[in-house]
Amino acid sequence: MFQTFKSVSKTSSHRTKQKQHSIKPGDLLLIHSAKQLLGLPRRKKLISATLPLLSLSEDKLETFCQPLLDNVTHFFQDLPETRHSFYARRGGLIDHALERTAVAMKLCRQYFLPAGTESKTLTEPQTLWAFALFSAGLLRDIGRVTVDLKILTHKDSSTKGKPWDAYNTTMTSQGTHYSYTFAGDYPETFRANATLLLARQLLPNHAFTWITSNRQVFKIWMAILQDDKTEYGMLGAILERAEAEAIIGYFRELGLPLSLRDGEQALHEGRSHLTGMTSISGNEASQEVELRQIAEHGAGIAFLNWLQSEMAQNKLMMNSAPLFSVPGGFLIGADILKLFVSQSEGKFSGADSVKRSLESLGILSKNSQNFIHANDKTKIEGHVLTNPHVVLDGLSKTLQTQYAETSKQFNNVSSPVFNEEQFITPAGVAVTQQEAQINTDNLVNMQNPFAR
């Protein structure tokens, strides 16, 4: 198992000045300590606001939370999360993990201590659930590092790199610098399994022992890390909402809030949002990458805004063509994309360009999926908007509840293994309709099992 990464940098003789432009695949980067990486004012502020929400003792904060933060941060370094999608900037993996976790802990706090509750402190059982969510928020999708990226470590700035053995060693044990390139596409199950392996390595032993002390907590913690929506329960549902809020916040920073605009207008307005964003070396952070994102994502953001607006005004009704809610999200087919383009007054060239923009956002399933209505056997096909909360969170509770109900009406029949009693979830697991829907129902109608 990994030991806690010490916050120690290499000597100054090894340091090189970071280039004055955004990082890109192939650039040689200095390996930083966790202390340096977490020292940015914005990150320090997020952590300071998040840790008190766990209601943990100072001893547990120091022995459970801080070592985990250090390990995850040192592991991520300045790596981006994606090539061109969300959090593609320098340090994107760290920023996404911290922002997602901060939102998740606020939602968790609201869940355990709803408005009107006298106590302001979580009970001992609740703190375990809270820590499980905190750790899962930081560790979620950490498999991206070993699956989506090819990383070389360099003994110094002039030597040839060698592959980083991320499953057995730290970066600092192999060198002072690193470089990366993006790997090809791999099955989602590969990334999920890598995440589970790395999570065990990065989580301190005593923290892992605490999580495993409760079988239900441990089961849900593993389900979240493996993105198993049929098993991840309320904690997973909370993290999904946090994920949506973090992504929306990220694009809002780019000048792309949920308001209709075209790519050119967004590009112009987004520039002011990027000034002042800095890396740990004090340089402007990945503006070249992020400005390209603004233009690329404009159509997708505009579509999400339009969809939200049409639903709020009851111009589009769920499970009435062309809008369908299915297990796992909203079905985005050709008809609804064409309708959006026809109402956009020539801002977008066609349905395919809007679909590509949604794909670039990282929230549209890679493969087309097939669904059949449980009663009238109507068949529909399309790509799934995999995090429906980017749209639902701006709508009324009534519409959120309606989504939970209508998404039960279709079964996913993309897999050849299918029968009337069971259906295959997007994760590829055969479950009953009731089992697969329980997470969506719980998210809309939160019930507190630890109420006093």
pLDDT tens, 247-269?
A: 778 777 766 554 433 333 333 33
Give the burial class of 364: count Cβ atoms within 10 A of its Cβ; 0-12 exposed, 13-18 middle, 19 or more buried: buried
For the record, the structure tokens of 9 come out as 């940098």
Query: Residue 167's CB: how many other CB atoms inside 10 A?
Result: 11
Q: What is the pLDDT of residue 37?
A: 95
Tokens of 260: 């209709």
Q: Considering the domain boundaries, does residue 362 fall inside one?
A: yes
pLDDT number for residue 298: 74
Distance (Å, whole) CA 286 – CA 18: 12
Residues 93, 217, single domain; the answer is yes
Indicate whether 37 and 183 sit together in one domain.
yes
Provide φ and ψ at 254, rounded to 5°.
Answer: -80, 0
Residue 56 and residue 173 in one domain: yes
Which of 240, 260, 290 is a domain's end point? 240
One domain, residues 181 and 43: yes
Q: What does the block give as tokens for 67?
A: 């070592």
Instruction: Give the whole-angstrom CA distance, residue 134 versus residue 131.
Output: 5
Tokens of 117: 């509750």
Task: Identify whether 250 is part of a domain.
Answer: no
Q: How far is 247 from 81, CA to CA, in rounded Å? A: 12
Return the percent helix, strand and coil in the chain, to nearest 5: 50, 10, 40
Last residue of a domain, one of 218, 240, 262: 240
CA 185 to chain centre: 18
Q: Are strands 379-385 and 329-332 parallel, antiparallel or unpaired?
A: antiparallel
Cis peptide before 204 (omega within 30 of 0): no
Same domain, 168 and 59: yes
Taking CB atoms within 8 Å and a gap of at least 24, the contacts of 427-432 are 427/227, 427/228, 427/229, 427/230, 428/189, 429/228, 429/230, 431/230
The answer to whether residue 202 is domain-embedded is yes
User: pLDDT of the chain along its 452 residues, tens only?
Assistant: 444 443 333 333 333 333 333 455 668 899 999 999 999 999 999 999 999 999 999 999 999 999 999 999 999 999 988 876 778 788 999 999 999 999 999 999 988 988 777 778 999 999 999 999 999 999 998 998 999 899 999 998 888 889 999 999 999 999 999 999 988 766 777 888 999 999 999 999 999 999 999 999 999 999 999 988 778 888 888 888 888 888 778 777 766 554 433 333 333 333 333 333 344 443 444 445 555 555 566 788 888 888 888 888 888 888 888 889 888 788 988 899 999 888 887 777 788 888 888 887 777 877 788 888 888 888 888 888 877 877 887 777 788 888 878 888 888 887 433 333 333 333 333 333 343 333 433 433 333 322 22
Taking phi over 0 as left and psi of -120 to 50 as alpha, with beta for the rest, 32 belongs to beta
Distance CA 283, CA 285 (A): 6
Would residue 33 count as lying in a domain? yes
Name 278's bridge partners: 284
Could you tell me if 215 and 73 lie in one domain?
A: yes
Residue 148 located in a structural domain: yes
Residue showing tokens 């605009």 = 261
Q: Looking at the structure, tell me whether residues 436 and 322 fall in a common domain.
A: yes
Range of the domain at 411: 315-444
Q: Give the domain-ending residue among 216, 240, 264.
A: 240
43 with 180, same domain: the answer is yes
Q: Does a structural domain hold residue 400?
A: yes
Specify if 285 maps to a domain: no
Number of independent structural domains in the chain: 2
What is the model's pTM? Answer: 0.69
Does residue 410 form part of some domain?
Answer: yes
The CATH number linked to 183 is 1.10.3210.40
> Where does 126-270 show beta strands of DSSP type E?
149-154, 162-163, 177-182
Q: Which pLDDT score is estimated for 211?
A: 96
